[in-house]
Structure 1
Amino acid sequence: MRLNLFLVEVALAGSLLAFGSAAPAQPAAAGAPPVPLAGPPTNAPNAPSPANAAQVPKPGDPYAAFFPSPKNTPFFRPDQIPWKTNGEGLLEYNLFGNPREPGPYAVLLKWLPGHYSTPHYHPNARYAVVISGTWWTSTSNVQDVTKTYPLGPGTVVTDVIGTVHWDGARDEPVVLMLMGDGPSPNVKVDKNGKPLGAVEF
Structure 2
Amino acid sequence: MIGLATAAFLTLSGSVPAFAQDAVVATLPQDIHFKGPDGAVGIAVLYGDPKKAEVFSERVRIPAGFKIMPHWHGETRTAVVLSGTFYYANGDQWDESKFKAYPPGSFLIEPAKISHYAMARDGEVVLQAMAVGPASTTRIEQAKK
Structure 1-normalised TM-score? 0.55
Q: What is the root-mean-square deviation in Å for CA atoms of aligned residues? A: 2.6
Larger Rg: 1
**Is 2:118 the partner of 1:161?**
no
Range with bigger deviation, 85-94 or 127-136: 85-94
What is the distance in 1 between the residues matched to 2:131 and 2:42? 18
Number of equivalent positions: 125
- Structure 2 counterpart of 1:108: 59
Matches within 5 A, 1:139-178: 139-178=90-129
- The amino acid across from 1:142 in the alignment is Q
Kept in 1, the 8 Å contact 2:84–2:122? The answer is: no
Using a 3 Å threshold, how does the CA distance of structure 1 residues 126 and 142 change in structure 2: closer, same or farther? same
Equivalent residues in 2 for 1:87-106, closer than 5 Å: 88-106=39-57
Any idea what the Cα deviations from partners look like across 1:135-163, whole Å, max 9, x if unmatched? 00011211133541110111110111111
Aligned 8 A contact 1:130 1:176 in 2: yes
Shift of 1:105: 0.1
Structure 2 unmatched ranges of 5 or more: 1-14
Q: Report Cα offsets for 1:85-124 as digits up to 9, x if no partner.
A: 1685111111111223221100000000111211111111
Partner Cα separation in structure 1 for residue 104 and residue 56 of structure 2: 21
Percent of residue pairs bearing the same amino acid type: 25
**SS of the counterpart of 1:117?**
strand
Counterpart pick for 1:122 among 39, 59, 73: 73
| Whole-angstrom distance in 2 between the partners of 1:191 and 1:82 | 32
Q: Partners in 2 of 1:129 and 1:123 — Cα distance?
A: 19
Instruction: Identify which of 112, 127, 135 aligns with 2:86.
Output: 135
Matching residue of 2:8: none
| Bigger RCO of structures 1 and 2 (CA < 8 A, at least 6 apart) | 2
Change (3 A) 1:116 1:162: same
Partner SS state of residue 179, structure 1 = strand
Q: Is the 8 A contact 2:50 2:134 kept in 1?
A: yes
Q: 1:58 — aligned with what? A: none
In 1, Cα distance between the equivalents of 2:112 and 2:26?
35
- Runs of 4+ displaced beyond 4 Å: 72-75
